[in-house]
A and B are shown apart, each in its own frame.
Chain A
């Protein structure tokens, strides 16, 4: 029997790796993939609680998170394509139009 906090700790570690990726990487696509990693770790938490508490709501929520992640990926990658067409780069340090 695997205790529930092992699932929760795994998801915490994955969330932290994703957060570190968002904050330290400068490639827009890798930042995006780190966000997917964070969404997935939250999904794992929801499924773990759902299974251990015997409540289906968590798994329904995961379903909605996946729908949001799919639309987020579509819109985000379209933004990256539009940015690349305009500036010929995906380096987030060089995309500073809205900074300051």
Chain B
């Protein structure tokens, strides 16, 4: 086993474990902290795919910005242990788990088809693709219009968030 393989399997196990803890924890603050751990594991997995830019953005944007927002809102609403909601195991939830398991089987079937299992990683090429220079060139030439639309989306989101969180909502 090479170092890369050991790193991938350890990080994958940690990612699945922390994802499970996000869903199973009763206290939202602990859930949020496990989600941050999950994001760091994913950043490491992106590094095994030679996607350096995405790995850094993952930590900056997800673990840095989005999760701070989540933790801030949980603290603001004071959703500690007192607010831990009783989760009854009704038949609907059992059905949901069964259906989700069926979906997993379908996806596993799809992903174990020969096209997915025989692909080989061209290391030199993937290192070149993951560089910020290559992604930036594509972003400002081929994907310029979606990139500009993203700025409109972010502006709309800021305006919407301020409007929704205002004290008086007429």
Contact = CB atoms under 8 A, between A and B. Distances in A.
A binds B: yes
Interface of A: 1-10, 12-21, 23-27, 29-30, 32-34, 36-37, 40, 43-44, 47-48, 50-57, 59-60, 62-64, 66-75, 77-82, 84, 86, 90-91
7 contacts: A2-B5, A14-B16, A24-B97, A56-B135, A60-B139, A63-B135, A73-B69
Interface of B: 4-5, 8, 12, 15-16, 19-20, 22-23, 25, 28, 31-32, 35, 38-39, 42, 45-46, 48-51, 53-54, 57-58, 61-62, 65-66, 69-70, 73-74, 76-77, 79, 83, 85, 87, 93, 96-97, 99-101, 103-104, 107-108, 111-112, 116-117, 119-122, 125-126, 129-130, 134-135, 138-139, 143, 146, 150, 153-154, 156-158, 160-165, 169
A4 B12 CA distance: 13
B interface, over-half SS: helix
Among A13, A74, A81, residue most surrounded by chain B Cβ atoms (within 10 Å): A74
